Structure 1
Amino acid sequence: MFQLDTISLYIHIPWCLKKCGYCDFYSYVSKEKIPEEQYIEHLLKDFEKDLHLIHHKNIKTIFIGGGTPSLLKSSSIKKLINGIKKRAVISKNTEISIEANPTTIESKRFLNYQMAGINRFSLGIQTFNEAGLKKIERTYNKKEAIQSIKILKQVNNNINIDLMYGLPNQSLEEALLDLQCAIQWNPNHISWYQFTLEPNTIFYSKKIITPHEDLIFKMFTQGDKLLKKSGYKKYEISSYAKFNKQCKHNLNYWHYGDYIGLGCGAHGKITQKNGKIIRTLKNKNINCFLNGNYLHSINMVSKKDKIFEYFMNVFRLYEPVFKQHFTKKTNIEITKIEKDIQIAIKKGFLIDYLDYWKTTKQGKLFLNSLLKIFL
């Protein structure tokens, strides 16, 4: 579990080859050459402006996400990581991850990524099914997806494969075949999450039809059994890992840890010395960002929101929620939430132990209902 003297760093690379119809992340399809060298310089200046928020904390994890960060040259990644090391203290065992798209993976460049300090690769496959890839508007085919895994396995075995179930017109057999295909490559980590239609996306406006909820539940339960049978331990609602290979960066989020967000549209959460929590949002406009206007807003998190945010994160995990951890992370006494805890217990969502709470199987299945209690 993360200590209060550590912090994570999220870095957003906004460019993509194509905007997928289901994606609600901030991304920018550039028809011209990406100004990556200029962007890296501004990322480091953005970091310098946020250094006063870190309060001399060690950086425990770094996650380079997007967008498609693997569009960047290895020299840009090296400059970025070296620039961060010059400006802050990075632990020796820092997990440094980068997201990658199958069409951008080249053996030499990814070897150079690793030499620059990247030690974990997150590969956004989503599905190996040819028809499924076309339906969700991915820019590669099954052969390219498998080839990208082969290349990464030669570089580093510390790989995560992202897969989605509940895709438009997907069958149970197709969903399980995706998992079987990923498992045969023996990655350290597999993210197995439900395809959802998020507001403000193209697919949402088109009212794309997804499988019936009963079929989606079968995909979830049978996929869960297959992953566990194959040696993957479920440690979060959508995350499965080999022994001791959990994503440390995401664990920091789910433990309600602190993190700095750098780059267009990046979010940050930082606990102050007085126990108050602030949230930062960086400018989404790429031109404004490249002109040095980094910060869009900074807000104080209210007590009510802290309670909800805390449980929204920790209840995703398959581990006890220690009462002492709640007070340490929120600076709120247990007495303030006793009534809500009792309601959750009566509904069968929580079990109350002396030092911790634990979500029941029903609590995990009806997580949204559990969280509504704390709204």
Structure 2
Amino acid sequence: MALNAPPLSLYVHMPWCVKKCPYCDFNSHGVRGEAPPYERYVELLLADLDADLVDFAQALDARPVRSVFFGGGTPSLFAPDLIARFLDGARTRLPFADGAEITLETNPGTVEHGRFDGYLGAGVNRLSFGIQSFDDDKLRRLGRIHSAAEAEAAVKSAQDAGYDNINLDLMYALPEQTLDGALADVTRAAALGPTHISHYQLTLEPNTAFAANPPPLPDDDHAWAMQEACEQALAAAGYGQYEVSAYARPDRRCVHNLNYWQFGDYLGIGAGAHGKLSDAESGTVRRRWKTRHPRAWMDAAGGPARIGGDNAVEPAELPFEYMLNALRLIDGTPMAEFEARTGLAVERIAPALTRCRQRGWLVEDPAWLRTTPLGQRFLNDVIAAFLD
């Protein structure tokens, strides 16, 4: 089968935050002492992009960027003029699709009044707020630096500035959270009228403060009850679930994250950023990740030492990698897309497909890859069935 070049996105990692949250396993670093070198970091982001464009010139093949995502850390620590400087520089280096989605992750406790106008002027057309909860006690236990009132004020301030595409991140199964508490968070989020809500279960990740000292969390049955009840509440409020943790108003699904879940390509720029690129000519899918610590990445200044790892994904690993993303989509994907994005024939995964259908995990449709409600509940087992 021929490997096709999928849509292209750009991920930009901004590694600093005010304070590391106890549940966070992302590449984020709390600000201590003097302010981080924000301006220098943006200059080196462009140097990193330049180096990747040289390395991947054949694979990129002038594909337009359909989405940009500033993640972190806390990207809203960077002033609007620095975000504008990066976007202006990126546009001179890469073609951008008309109306490209450009998202900035935002902490409600770090954005001053009036700054949203600056981000909008810089070209950011979508904001993602890390709310997590509207319960002040839960926010305190999660180590967040904002209150529920500050979160609501920040969202309204962004809307007043002209933003009409906003995501709110929420967590459930928080320490000692009840079903009523989880539903209250969803209700308050929907009342703000965002276009998108991400609803994640809190999990204990290795090498985090919560992993070392676990808080009292709801058990699996209670967490599942929260998920089901919140799904129903979000649907009633007009938010359609299209991925395990993602809910959107009609036509407001996140373009950037959809590209991940559909096994699209993306350049990863900045400290610890991950990228994936398909080279149709060579028939390979490559993954590259950058040196994790900001200082080490900056010291490399666009040179080879900025790369933490780079390898071609082995054909035997591609089915698992594809399913790890695509099976999260509620509507699933065409089976033909598996072949186009991996370069593998469907026959390669026929035994695993048969097993999953026999167990009631996948729908009985040879042209479509989609989990059943039972498969969604046991999604990790479904994905594991495609391990080589």
For the residue of structure 2 that corresponds to 1:107, the secondary structure is coil
2:269 maps to 1:262: yes
Tell me by how many angstroms 1:5 deviates: 5.6
Of 109, 119, 122, the residue aligned with 1:116 is: 122
Q: Please name the residue that 1:136 is paired with.
A: 142
Q: Please name the residue that 1:12 is paired with.
A: 13
Tell me by how many angstroms 1:290 deviates: 1.6
2:307 maps to 1:295: yes
Tell me by how many angstroms 1:358 deviates: 2.3
Q: Please name the residue that 1:125 is paired with.
A: 131
Q: Please name the residue that 1:328 is paired with.
A: 340
Tell me by how many angstroms 1:146 deviates: 1.2
Tell me by how many angstroms 1:352 deviates: 3.0
Of 328, 338, 350, the residue aligned with 1:338 is: 350
Give the Cα–Cα distance (whole angstroms) in 2 for the partners of residues 212 and 290 of structure 1: 43
Give the Cα–Cα distance (whole angstroms) in 2 for the partners of residues 272 and 193 of structure 1: 33
2:50 maps to 1:43: no
Q: Please name the residue that 2:101 is paired with.
A: 95
Q: Please name the residue that 1:242 is paired with.
A: 249
Q: Deviations over 1:14-40 (max 9, x none)?
A: 000000000000011122112011000
2:24 maps to 1:23: yes
Q: Deviations over 1:20-74 (max 9, x none)?
A: 0000000111221120110000000000011132231111100000000000111
Q: Please name the residue that 2:111 is paired with.
A: 105
Tell me by how many angstroms 1:154 deviates: 1.0
Q: Please name the residue that 1:165 is paired with.
A: 172
Q: Please name the residue that 1:210 is paired with.
A: 217
Range with greater deviation from structure 2 (3-12 or 268-277)? 3-12
Of 108, 128, 150, the residue aligned with 2:156 is: 150
Of 187, 192, 197, the residue aligned with 1:185 is: 192
Give the Cα–Cα distance (whole angstroms) in 2 for the partners of residues 370 and 221 of structure 1: 20
Provide the identity percentage: 38
For the residue of structure 1 that corresponds to 2:109, the secondary structure is helix
Tell me by how many angstroms 1:149 deviates: 1.1
**Does the CA-based 8 Å contact 1:130-1:141 persist in structure 2?**
yes
TM-score by length of 1: 0.97
Letter paired with 1:313: N
Letter paired with 1:355: A
Q: Deviations over 1:101-122 (max 9, x none)?
A: 0011223221111111000000
Range with greater deviation from structure 2 (101-110 or 14-23)? 101-110
For the residue of structure 2 that corresponds to 1:351, the secondary structure is coil
**Does the CA-based 8 Å contact 1:70-1:100 persist in structure 2?**
yes
For the residue of structure 1 that corresponds to 2:276, the secondary structure is strand
**Does the CA-based 8 Å contact 1:133-1:140 persist in structure 2?**
yes
Give the Cα–Cα distance (whole angstroms) in 2 for the partners of residues 107 and 319 of structure 1: 39
Give the Cα–Cα distance (whole angstroms) in 2 for the partners of residues 108 and 321 of structure 1: 41
**Does the CA-based 8 Å contact 1:123-1:162 persist in structure 2?**
yes
2:290 maps to 1:282: yes
Letter paired with 1:255: Q
Q: Please name the residue that 2:36 is paired with.
A: 34
For the residue of structure 2 that corresponds to 1:41, the secondary structure is helix
For the residue of structure 2 that corresponds to 1:65, the secondary structure is strand
Give the Cα–Cα distance (whole angstroms) in 2 for the partners of residues 352 and 313 of structure 1: 20
Give the Cα–Cα distance (whole angstroms) in 2 for the partners of residues 60 and 363 of structure 1: 31
Give the Cα–Cα distance (whole angstroms) in 2 for the partners of residues 120 and 72 of structure 1: 16
Q: Please name the residue that 1:232 is paired with.
A: 239
Call closer, same or farther: CA 1:311–1:136 in 2, change over 3 Å. same
Tell me by how many angstroms 1:306 deviates: 0.9
Give the Cα–Cα distance (whole angstroms) in 1 for the partners of residues 214 and 84 of structure 2: 42
Give the Cα–Cα distance (whole angstroms) in 2 for the partners of residues 65 and 35 of structure 1: 17
Give the Cα–Cα distance (whole angstroms) in 1 for the partners of residues 250 and 113 of structure 2: 27
For the residue of structure 2 that corresponds to 1:256, the secondary structure is coil
Higher relative contact order (CA 8 A, sep 6+): 2
Q: Please name the residue that 1:312 is paired with.
A: 324
| Gap runs ≥5 in structure 1 | none
2:365 maps to 1:353: yes
2:381 maps to 1:374: no
Call closer, same or farther: CA 1:217–1:41 in 2, change over 3 Å. same
Give the Cα–Cα distance (whole angstroms) in 2 for the partners of residues 36 and 55 of structure 1: 31
Give the Cα–Cα distance (whole angstroms) in 2 for the partners of residues 6 and 182 of structure 1: 31
Q: Deviations over 1:143-166 (max 9, x none)?
A: 111111111111202100000000
Letter paired with 1:285: H
Matched residues, number: 373
Give the Cα–Cα distance (whole angstroms) in 1 for the partners of residues 368 and 226 of structure 2: 32
For the residue of structure 2 that corresponds to 1:104, the secondary structure is coil
**Does the CA-based 8 Å contact 1:167-1:211 persist in structure 2?**
yes
**Does the CA-based 8 Å contact 1:106-1:151 persist in structure 2?**
no
**Does the CA-based 8 Å contact 1:126-1:162 persist in structure 2?**
yes
| Gap runs ≥5 in structure 2 | none
TM-score by length of 2: 0.94
For the residue of structure 2 that corresponds to 1:210, the secondary structure is coil
